[in-house]
Amino acid sequence: MICLKPLLRCLFIAVALQLGAAAIAAEPASVSLEGGAFKVTGWTPPILPPTGGWESILTVHAGRGDVPALLGAYALEAGALVFRPSYPITAGVQYRVALHVPGAPAVEKIIDGPRRDTTPVAHVVSVYPSGDVWPSNQLRLYINFSTAMSRNEVAGHLHILDETGKKLEGVDTVLLPGQELWDPTFQRLTLTFDPGRIKRGLTSNQTVGPPIEEGKTYTLVIDREWPDARGVPMTERFQKVFRGGPAERRTPDPANWTLSPPKPGTSAPLVVTFPTPMNYPLLQRMLEIDSVLGRVDGKIEIAAGETQWRFTPDLPWKAGNYRLIADARLEDRAGNRINQPFDIDVFEKVTKRIETPTVARPFTIK
Amino acid sequence: MRKTHLSCLALLSAITLASPAFAAGAADSLKAGKAELRSAGRLAFGPDGVLFVGDSLGASIVALDTGDTTPAAQAAAIDMTGIDGKVAGLLGTTADKILINAIAVNPISKNAYISVSRGRGPDATPVIVRTAAGGKLEMLSLDNIKNARVSLPNTVAGEGNADQRKRMDAITDIAFTNGKVVVAGLSNEEFSSNLRMISYPFTSAERGASAEIFHGSHGGFETNSPIRTFMTYKINGEDVVLAAYTCTPLVVFKSADLKPGNKVKGKTIAELGAGNRPLDMFAYKKNGADYILMNNSSRGVMKISAAKLESYPAITKPTDITGVPYETVKSLNGIEHIVALDDTHALALVKTSAGQDLKSVALP
């Protein structure tokens, strides 16, 4: 006893599919971008690739230049030829698609990648040193952006102008050319002033002079056109005026720091004041507080042009003895460390250098 | 029969003596799988087609088995105009959305390798592209490749608030010599320098030892300025490291002095001028004479005589450009990177008004 119903149903479906396929085949072959892949429609591919490979049927190129085809893999998916690029389709890029289906005219078309968000969001949040007077041997410059930025843009979009508004370029360049040091999030850029003009004993220091001249006024300019990581310019141009001050050659000495211990039972900050500004990022991680119970946890704030380190404990202060522990590698703005000036006078006795890794300043909460 | 045995034994001994660490093949310690790279920067080849990649964002060095071990005595001429656009095209994007970070040449096959960031921000995808037969470019798959990774200690502060996690060492140069990967790092916070030496094959226990580097005094002063680029070399049969700094002295260190924890003071043998950033350096021979080719950000490509380097006294007085003689190679302009290609040519990445070209150039 054979049941005919399923057979009839299969026959009906097969006929319907055949009609459908014929209808699709009647449309001209084309390519569409679906889910990040390029899919050929209107053509039923053979099971095996042709002699020239699937790339003889379909190729995709990015942009408009004479460039190789995209890397990727071909596959037959649900009876259609599909090309999946090795890397995701890029927002804002146009793709040139060439389709050569046997027996049909060649098709070339442009397919736009996803629309790029072009809303500017990036801006400069802060620059360190934050003060308006920078020593003539200022060593490093930190620029904090509000969002991740594109790298390799310093040469084109960061300038230092002299008092007349002229860009300092060529031999007058004050920053080390082209050296960009980013943090892992690409939101903070570190630049270095030309060490050859800072270090005493080099002729360029003696003849060209230090990068920043005492008494002169400069303007740091960051163009709005600097693109963020998406390739979108910033919301606004940034500028900061600063004046050259005297060189800072002395090593920071914790004995000269002023400590203002708060009252016990409060969560008021311990305030440490330095005679001259210190290196902002190093203040974040090279000073800490401990007691006989171990390290004291709390929050750090840097204030007053990097001349103040404020430590607010997570728990109220208890009466007792504490220590401010300074990493001896802590630097001021000019790269002078607690244990070593930026450039050592070799005629000084080496014993003047501090060899211990940390320096402690005891204080009492009472 | 006995003779055959002895010959085999002699051959085995010779191999063992010549390369004790790699008697079994330099790539044998590598494990197949996905290479965990966060960024691809400076490149250096080790033995047997093993490529070392400096990963600044991942704070590591990654060894990759390129499998590219077919020898070639001379390199095929390379002339790829618009290499940035071509690489971008392969990667499905445009030249303004990638960055070429470094180039290297496999000393066995003479094929060129290019490290690339697909994207210009922190989420850029690292890619290694290489030249292949017929002047084509192909991608080195990082998804399934024999590889090993070693972390560099203390490069990224892993704890604390957002401000405390911003420290990073940019890996400014790497080299392979005498079974060790030598790594120069440049901090984005403190102004210091160390050269890290990591034994290869990598072991989980060893993350490399570092020596703190001072270059010799200029005038009455000395500093611990960071090394930008360096090369290993022999002077009078002694292994040395020749290093170039940002300000721009050329300094010699004895390799034997580069021991863990040592404070090593170098001997400055040339001052090559300020306002400059050295980018690459390598040694070569021409007409029987030894030279060093050094590429700079602002002072072009310098051809430095490497004859009798041992004879130059340490520079200790205020000086501008002095010491080992050099000439600026006027025919080489806009060079962003340059590496040795073969006995007669170098491979250069050249900046042009339209983008970047990759081409072989005759050694000057």
Measure the CA–CA gap between A300 and A312, rounded to whole angstroms. Answer: 7
Nearest residue of chain B to residue A330 (CA atoms):
B190
Q: How confident is the model at residue B187 (pLDDT cuts 50, 70, 90)?
A: confident
Are A264 and A257 in contact, with CB atoms under 8 Å apart? no
* Core vs surface per residue A209-222: b (16+ CB within 10 A) or e: ebbbeeeeebebbb
pLDDT tens column, B45-90: 999 999 999 999 998 999 999 999 999 988 889 999 999 999 999 9
Question: Any CB–CB contact under 8 A between A69 and chain B?
Answer: yes
| ipTM for the predicted complex | 0.86
Question: For A65, which DSSP code?
Answer: S
Say how many CB pairs under 8 Å bridge A and B. 222
Would you list the DSSP string of A263-313?
Answer: -TT--PPEEEE-SS-B-HHHHHHSEEEEETTEEPPEEEEEETTTTEEEEEE
Nearest residue of chain B to residue A95 (CA atoms):
B92
Are B38 and B55 in contact, with CB atoms under 8 Å apart? yes
Are B166 and A281 in contact, with CB atoms under 8 Å apart? yes
- For the segment B255-272, the average pLDDT, to the nearest whole number, is 75
Residue A199 to residue B318, Cβ atoms within 8 A? no
Are A242 and A218 in contact, with CB atoms under 8 Å apart? yes
Would you list the DSSP string of B234-283?
Answer: EETTEEEEEEEETT-EEEEEEGGG--TT-EEE-EEEEEE-SS--EEEEEE
Are A267 and A313 in contact, with CB atoms under 8 Å apart? yes
- For the segment B230-238, the average pLDDT, to the nearest whole number, is 90
* Core vs surface per residue A174-184: b (16+ CB within 10 A) or e: bbbbbbbbbbb
Strands A344-345 and A294-295, bridge-based pairing: unpaired
Residues in chain B with CB shorter than 8 Å from the CB of A149 are 121
Is the predicted pLDDT of residue B135 greater than 90, yes or no?
no
pLDDT tens column, B197-230: 888 998 754 555 566 665 544 444 555 667 788 9
Question: Any CB–CB contact under 8 A between A179 and chain B?
Answer: yes
**What pLDDT sits at residue A211?**
84
Residue A151 to residue B276, Cβ atoms within 8 A? no
**What pLDDT sits at residue A173?**
77
Is the predicted pLDDT of residue B168 greater than 90, yes or no?
no
Residues 6+ positions from A293 with CB-CB distance below 8 Å:
none
Q: Which CATH architecture has domain A25-112?
A: Sandwich (2.60)
Residue A105: CB atoms within 10 A of its CB come to 9
Amino acid at B301: V
Q: Å from B280 to nearest chain A CA? A: 14
Amino acid at B119: G
Mutation site for B-interface testing, chosen from A202, A297, A336 by largest number of B Cβ within 10 Å: A202
Residue B74: CB atoms within 10 A of its CB come to 11
pLDDT-above-70 percentage for chain B: 79
Question: Any CB–CB contact under 8 A between A62 and chain B?
Answer: yes
Residue A314: CB atoms within 10 A of its CB come to 9
CA distances from B203 to A244, B34, B123, B208 (A): 50, 18, 29, 10
Measure the CA–CA gap between A129 and A126, rounded to whole angstroms. Answer: 9
Question: Any CB–CB contact under 8 A between A110 and chain B?
Answer: no
CATH fold, domain A254-365, is: Immunoglobulin-like (2.60.40)
Choice between A320 and B254, residue whose per-residue pLDDT is larger: A320
The SS3 of residue B172 is strand
Residue in A305, A303, A296, A298 with CA at minimum distance from that of residue A276: A305
Measure the CA–CA gap between A331 and A333, rounded to whole angstroms. Answer: 7
**What pLDDT sits at residue B315?**
64
Q: How confident is the model at residue B317 (pLDDT cuts 50, 70, 90)?
A: low
Beta-carbon-side half-sphere exposure of residue A131 (alpha carbons within 13 Å): 20
Question: Any CB–CB contact under 8 A between A68 and chain B?
Answer: yes
φ, ψ at B19 (rounded to 5°): -150, 70
The SS3 of residue B150 is strand
Nearest to B89 among A63, A184, A282 (CB): A63
Q: How confident is the model at residue B25 (pLDDT cuts 50, 70, 90)?
A: confident
What's the full length of chain B, in residues? Answer: 364
**What pLDDT sits at residue A169?**
80
Would you list the DSSP string of A311-364?
Answer: EEESS---SEEEEEEEETT-BBTTS-BTTB-SSEETTS-GGGS--SSEEEEEEE
Strands B263-265 and B209-218, bridge-based pairing: parallel
φ, ψ at A198 (rounded to 5°): -90, -40
Low-confidence ranges of chain A (pLDDT < 50): 1-4, 6-8, 10-25, 345-353
Q: Where are the domains of chain A?
A: 25-112, 124-245, 254-365
Question: Any CB–CB contact under 8 A between B275 and chain A?
Answer: yes
- For the segment B164-181, the average pLDDT, to the nearest whole number, is 88
Residues in chain B with CB shorter than 8 Å from the CB of A196 are 246-248, 273-276
Q: Which positions 15-44 of A are in contact with B (Cβ < 8 Å)?
A: none
Q: Where are the beta strands (DSSP E) in B289-342?
A: 289-296, 301-305, 321-323, 326-328, 335-340
The CATH class of the A124-245 domain is mainly beta
Q: Which positions 279-318 of A are in contact with B (Cβ < 8 Å)?
A: 279, 281-282, 284-285, 299-300
**What pLDDT sits at residue A351?**
37
